[in-house]
Amino acid sequence: MGGVADIARHFGLKAVYVLVAWGVTRVLEEGRKRFMRRRRRRSEETGADPAEAAAQPAAEAAASGAAGAPAPGRRDGGGGGGRYRLYRRALAEYTPSNPGWLREAVGYDAAALATDMSWQCPLLIQFLAKMAGQPGGPPLTQAVRPAVAASAPATGAAAGPLGITLGKQARKQLFALEPEVTYLNHGSYGAAFRLALEVQQWYQQQLEAQPVRFMETVALKALVAAVADAARFVGASPADVVPVTNATTAVNAVLAAVPLRRGDWVLMFNTTYPAVKSTIARVAAAAGASVIEVTLGMEELQRPALAVGAMQSALAALGGGGRRVRLAVLDHVASFPPLVMPVAAMTAVLKQVGATVLVDGAHAVGNVPGLQVPALGCDYYTTNLHKWGCSPKGAALLWAAPGPGPGGSERQAALRPLVTSHGFGLGFRGEWLWQGTSDMSSWLAVPAALAVLRGLGGPERLTARNAALVADAAAAMRRRWQAAAAAARATAPGTATAAPATRARVSGNGSAAAAAAAVAGPHPDELLQLGGGGDWAAGGGAPCMLAVQVPEPLRGYVGCGAAEAVALQRWLRYERGIEVPVVAAMGRLWVRLSAAAYNEPADYEALAAAVEELVRPQGGGGGVAAAAVAAT
């Protein structure tokens, strides 16, 4: 029995030893795991890997003593290969390899560059010298305002120091437009000045003659100077302005910089440009945010100042005083109807609810006089230079107010180009100066376009002339179409009374307003007008654009939808040589008229006569109607 007890005691002690050993092992393992977790946390907080840090001095010594040795901070995976580096905090640990020529360009001073002739185009230098050597031209007086009568000859006056008569002479000397086309659509893509195109071609030739020198010195110097010139043109500091290719690109960059999250709202209008609407929808959906579209009715479209009240009603409908609106996108000049919106007043309301405000001023430069972007109070502003600024296509600017922005970060620091390139880490200016290899010549020609605008008397004087021209021409056009429609109904068998139309908008000033008022009564034949001249500083209309309702019915057109708009625009373009946008909106067809330095009354007379062909009764059918249908 004693032997059995000894055996039991022996195995019992072994079991105790095993359990103790297992417990100690578990404790040590847990301690090791906790130690490793703490070390990893410290590593993440400090951005350093302890093992890597310990190996770094030896690696540095090896790197300094032998070619081909592992670089500092890299691990040798064995076998002579497998080297790599870990970036646990990439933005903090990564150091970009910015080229020296770009770092130098970030520090360029536009004022100092003015005396550097290495980058300046001789054509522009000659033009500016000519401008400086000539006395100023006569002011744009009432003599500039063309008569609206159909029989009146095209008249104009020499504008500014250039001394060029506006209209046909300006078209021939300043623009490259086809002479046989009646061009009434400057608002869509603009038309570049000849001088700007010649300057652009000079820079392109310099690029191909010595690409490296041009891209790394000439182009960047010229770009810095061009951005500074454009910034001054809109009353902004060059430090707050960066170059982009178009306003839509700028809108995309701003929407990417504004942090959105679920529960936020983005505000836009039914008049917002379609491409911008699409951008808002995509960005909001990706962030889980929602979109509210403020609807402007006919009353607000005829009196843009009422848009502020419509927006306030939309903010109230969201609850919480509208404070859930994270971002609002406003048009300075709507594409259609072409109205200048009271963006300063709207921005003030939106700032009260804490919203970030982006103003899309695609039509502003050269169209809205006295433009001072910082005075609007918005966070971001973008405008095209190739529309009413008459530069080559592909030039626009983006302005960002300095100071804290959305989410508390610095506004300009958070605003990055959609393309990351060599400017990474060089700050607001450096990031935007270089966005990969591209043809910068459109932007480099901007100073030439702005110089011609100044030579024509500046945007204020030129805009006053254009606003008067388009308002007078529209009044005559409406009167002519209304008379033709009334005559067609009177001679047509089984004439029916037309549905009453909404009272027309009377815009413009002086004789233009009087002429419009003469036909603005509440008659069945009355045609509507939206936009136009007027007190644009108070939001009363786009100076150089307006929309005029097309009379109906037109022979060969069964309705007023999008298909009819396309057919009529194509018929005017291909059959009558007239370029003008035709829009289907609010159950009507409209033509959007533009007035630029090259337009004159005869251009609008041609459009009035062409549309009148489709209004006058014609026996036998076919003819113009068939051509209109075929054009689709």
Q: What is the pLDDT of residues 525-560, one digit of tens each?
A: 689 988 855 455 554 567 799 999 999 888 888 889
- How much is the pLDDT for 538? 52
Distance CA 276, CA 278 (A): 5
Mean pLDDT value across residues 195-216: 95
Q: What is residue 503's predicted lDDT score, i.e. its pLDDT?
A: 37
Q: Is the pLDDT of residue 12 over 90?
A: no
| Axis crossing angle, helix 601-615 with helix 562-576, rounded to the nearest 10 | 120
The mean pLDDT value for 442-446 works out to 97
In the structure encoding, which two tokens stand for residue 201, read together?
């071609």
Q: pLDDT confidence of 496, banded at 50, 70, 90?
A: very low
Residue type, 166: L
Mean pLDDT within 118-141:
72
**Whole-angstrom distance, CA of residue 28 vs CA of residue 418:** 52
**Domains located in the chain, CATH noted:** 212-456 (3.40.640.10), 459-489+522-615 (3.90.1150)
State what percent of residues in the chain have pLDDT above 90. 49
pLDDT at 410: 83
pLDDT at 459: 82
Q: Does the CA dihedral 336-575-393-114 come out positive or negative?
A: negative
Taking the CA atoms of residue 445, residue 446, residue 451 and residue 457 in that order, the dihedral angle to the nearest 10 degrees is 140
Chain centroid, CA 528 distance in Å: 29
Binned at pLDDT 50, 70 and 90, residue 32 comes out as confident
> Can you tell me whether residue 7 is helix, strand or coil?
helix
Residue 84 is classified by DSSP as B
User: Both tokens of residue 215?
Assistant: 């891209």
Closest CA relative to residue 453, chosen from 139, 195, 185: 195
Question: What average pLDDT does this structure show over 370-392?
Answer: 95
Is 172 a residue whose pLDDT tops 50? Answer: yes
47-56, 396-405, 510-519 — most confident range: 396-405
CB 544 within 8 A of CB 463: yes
Residue 209: pLDDT above 70?
A: yes
Q: Is the pLDDT of residue 154 over 60?
A: no
Q: Is the pLDDT of residue 479 over 80?
A: yes
> Averaged over 442-470, what is the pLDDT?
91
Specify whether the CB–CB gap between 299 and 306 falls below 8 A: yes
Residue 461 has, within 13 A of its CA and on its CB side, a CA count of: 21
Assess whether pLDDT exceeds 60 at residue 259: yes
pLDDT reported for residue 571: 96
pLDDT at 344: 93
Closest CA to 546 of 568, 531, 558: 531
Mean pLDDT, residues 475-491 taken together: 89
Greater model confidence, 434 or 578: 578
How many whole angstroms separate alpha carbon 132 and alpha carbon 370? Answer: 23
What Å distances lie between residue 83 and 3, 44, 56, 77, 93, CA to CA? 65, 21, 13, 6, 18
> In the predicted model, what is the mean pLDDT of residues 432-458?
92
* CA distances, 104 to each of 220, 423, 432 (Å): 10, 11, 14
**Is residue 246 pLDDT above 90, yes or no?**
yes
pLDDT for 535 equals 56
What is the predicted pLDDT for the residue at 331? Answer: 94
pLDDT at 600 over 80: yes
Least confident of 132-141, 371-380, 395-404, 455-464: 132-141
Averaged over 450-457, what is the pLDDT? Answer: 92
Average of per-residue pLDDT across 151-177: 74
| pLDDT computed for residue 630 by the predictor | 34
Region 173-185: what's the mean pLDDT?
95
d(CA 356, CA 326): 6
- 464-488: average pLDDT: 91
**Any bridge partners for residue 75, and if so which?**
84
* 310-369 pLDDT, tens digit each: 999 999 998 877 789 999 999 999 999 998 889 999 999 999 999 999 999 999 988 888
The pLDDT mean for the chain works out to: 81
Q: pLDDT class for 156, splitting at 50, 70, 90?
A: low
d(CA 163, CA 324): 54
Sorting pLDDT into bands at 50, 70 and 90, what band is 81?
Answer: low
Q: What is the pLDDT of residues 275-298, one digit of tens each?
A: 999 999 999 999 999 999 999 988
pTM of this structure: 0.79
By CB neighbour count within 10 A (0-12 exposed, 13-18 middle, 19+ buried), where does 91 fall? Answer: exposed
Q: How confident is the model at residue 494 (pLDDT cuts 50, 70, 90)?
A: low
Instruction: Work out the pLDDT band at 194, boundaries 50, 70, 90.
Output: very high
Type and span of the H or E element at 326: strand 325-331
Highest-scoring range by mean pLDDT, 21-25, 176-180, 428-432: 176-180
494 to 53, 554, 620: CA distances (angstroms): 96, 17, 17
pLDDT band at 94 (very low <50, low <70, confident <90, very high): confident
Is 271 a residue whose pLDDT tops 80? Answer: yes
- What single-letter amino acid sits at 364? A
